[in-house]
Structure 1
Amino acid sequence: MPIITLTTDFGYKDHFVGAIKGTIYKELGDPKIVDISHSIAPFNIQECAYILKNSYKNFPDGSIHIVGVDSELSPENQHIAVFADNHYFIMANNGVIGLITSEIVPEKVVEIQLPNPVDGAFPVLDVFVKTACHIARGGKLEVLGRDFKDLKDLRDVKPRISDDGNTLSGSVIYIDNYGNVVSNIEQREFLQYGKGRPFEVLARNKKIRQIHRKYGDIVDYKLEKSQRKSPGEIVALFNTSGYLEIAIYKSDLNTVGGASTLLGLDYRDTIVINFE
């Protein structure tokens, strides 16, 4: 039986996640359910897309991904089931799938039209779970509804190059649990425009002149402890998703703060790289 993943903005205080899982177990008996995240900021489409885009590829082909963010049905927010990159996505037509599949053309998209639909306030349970269980049993998308062509196309602002190729400007697209700030500047763009030149990363009033491979590389263990950089230092790196990330080494967002709070960076704030 395929894995079913859950990505929502429901949190854990309320009954929603438990109700979803309980219904799937009742329908399928012994399914494999994986929580990707239930801590998406409410209705934050871009954050949802970033998390799901960078996690679904690690699941086996045929996995089914239920997305419970901004899922209430409306004439402009249809319920859809998508087959793309050998994975199934069940969600509302709110732009998440467009951001996930920005470089992949979905093979099949249908508008979900279940018999005797429940038009309630919990569509993830009433519609998405039933759809996922149908697919998990081997059911076809064609049975769920008609082909759908009108996918909502939301595009994140792309980094821009200026100053005759000497400046690459991007923006913050995600802030993680540690307060680390992720920009939309990708490593391939950095290499393409930088061409090995010296550079300077500008994040608010901070200047960073080195990009590390991993967080701990900021510490030079050849130096005496008193001379080494230590927790609390700013570090830049390309994260596992290939995006430029600004972090505070061994930070704690809930105590001393992270890059987002200590540098005053928020969603869509500007990150600039100047090449010499």
Structure 2
Amino acid sequence: MAIITLTTDFGLKDHFVGALKGSIYKELADAKIVDISHGISPFNIHECAYILKNAYQNFPEGTIHIVGVDAEPTPENQHIAVLVDGHYFITANTGVIGLITSEVNPEKVVHINIPNPEHGSFPVMDVFVKVACHLARGGTLEVVGKVFNELKQLKEYTPTVTDNGNKIVGSVVYIDNYGNVVTNIHKNFFDAYRKGRDFELNARTTKIKKIYHRYSDIINFNLDRNNRRGAGDLLALFNSSNYIELAIYKSDLNTVGGASTLLGLDYRDMVTINFL
């Protein structure tokens, strides 16, 4: 039986997640359900895309991913099912799949059109669950919809280059549980324009001239503890997804604060890199 994952902005206070899982078990008693996240900020497609992209690759091929963020269907927000990179995604056409398909071409995309669909306020349960269970039983995409060629792309997710290749203009796309600030500047993008040059990363009034690969890389363990950098110090690094991230070493967003609060950065705020 294929794994079915859930990524939503439902939170855990209300009945929605429990009802969603119950409806799956009602159709497939031996289903394997994994929660990726139910803490996506309401209707935040970029945050959803970032989390989903960095989670799905760790599941086996054939996994079915239900995406319950901004899922109400409209003429401009169609329900779709996508087979890409060996994984199935059931979602609305919000652009959330665009981050994945920007690197890997989808094998199949269909506009969902199942018989006698419910038209209530909970389409993730009324429609997406039915499609997921159909696929988990070994069904095909052709049965649940028709070929669709209008996938939306998240254009804002791509940084821009200005000043004749001497400046990258990016933005904040995600703030994690530690208050670390993730930008949309990928290491490959950065390296392609750096060409060995020195650089200066600017985030509001903060300037950084070095990017690490691990959080603890800021510590020079050859120095006495009183003379070395450590907890509470700012750093930039390529995170586990290879995006440039600004972090406070061993920070706690709920007490002393994290990079987001201490630097005054929020979702969509600008981050620039000037090559020198």
Report the TM-score, using the length of structure 2 for normalisation. Answer: 0.96
Residue correspondence of structure 1 range 188-203 to structure 2 within 5 A: 188-203=188-203
Residue correspondence of structure 1 range 1-276 to structure 2 within 5 A: 1-276=1-276
The alpha-carbon deviation at position 152 of structure 1 amounts to 2.6
The aligned length equals 276
Judged with a 3 Å threshold, the aligned counterparts in structure 2 of structure 1 residues 3 and 250 are, in CA distance, closer, same or farther, namely: same
When the two chains are superposed, the root-mean-square deviation of aligned CA atoms in Å is 1.4
- Structure 1: how far apart are the matches of 2:165 and 2:74? 44
**SS of match in other structure, 1:184:** strand
Q: Which runs of 5 or more residues in structure 1 are unaligned?
A: none
Amino acid at match of 2:56: Y
- Structure 2: how far apart are the matches of 1:37 and 1:105? 25
- Structure 2: how far apart are the matches of 1:117 and 1:166? 52
The alpha-carbon deviation at position 166 of structure 1 amounts to 2.8
Q: Which runs of 5 or more residues in structure 2 are unaligned?
A: none
1:172–1:268 contact (8 Å) kept in structure 2: yes
The alpha-carbon deviation at position 157 of structure 1 amounts to 4.8
The alpha-carbon deviation at position 34 of structure 1 amounts to 0.9
1:81–1:90 contact (8 Å) kept in structure 2: yes
1:50–1:100 contact (8 Å) kept in structure 2: no
- Deviation sequence 1:185-230 (CA, Å, 0-9, x none): 1112222222222222111111112111101111111111111112
2:46–2:157 contact (8 Å) kept in structure 1: no
Deviates most, 117-126 or 193-202: 193-202
2:70–2:94 contact (8 Å) kept in structure 1: yes
1:231–1:248 contact (8 Å) kept in structure 2: yes
Amino acid at match of 2:118: V
The alpha-carbon deviation at position 270 of structure 1 amounts to 1.4
2:199–2:273 contact (8 Å) kept in structure 1: yes
- Structure 1: how far apart are the matches of 2:214 and 2:205? 23
- Structure 1: how far apart are the matches of 2:270 and 2:45? 19
Judged with a 3 Å threshold, the aligned counterparts in structure 2 of structure 1 residues 195 and 152 are, in CA distance, closer, same or farther, namely: closer
Amino acid at match of 1:69: V
**SS of match in other structure, 2:11:** coil
Deviates most, 48-57 or 59-68: 48-57
Judged with a 3 Å threshold, the aligned counterparts in structure 2 of structure 1 residues 167 and 145 are, in CA distance, closer, same or farther, namely: closer
The alpha-carbon deviation at position 183 of structure 1 amounts to 1.0
Amino acid at match of 2:47: E
- Structure 2: how far apart are the matches of 1:82 and 1:72? 17
1:99–1:155 contact (8 Å) kept in structure 2: no
Report the TM-score, using the length of structure 1 for normalisation. Answer: 0.96
Give runs of ≥4 in structure 1 deviating > 4 Å: none
**SS of match in other structure, 2:244:** strand
Amino acid at match of 2:132: A
- Structure 1: how far apart are the matches of 2:159 and 2:22? 43
Judged with a 3 Å threshold, the aligned counterparts in structure 2 of structure 1 residues 114 and 163 are, in CA distance, closer, same or farther, namely: closer
- Structure 2: how far apart are the matches of 1:157 and 1:49? 10
- Structure 2: how far apart are the matches of 1:226 and 1:220? 11
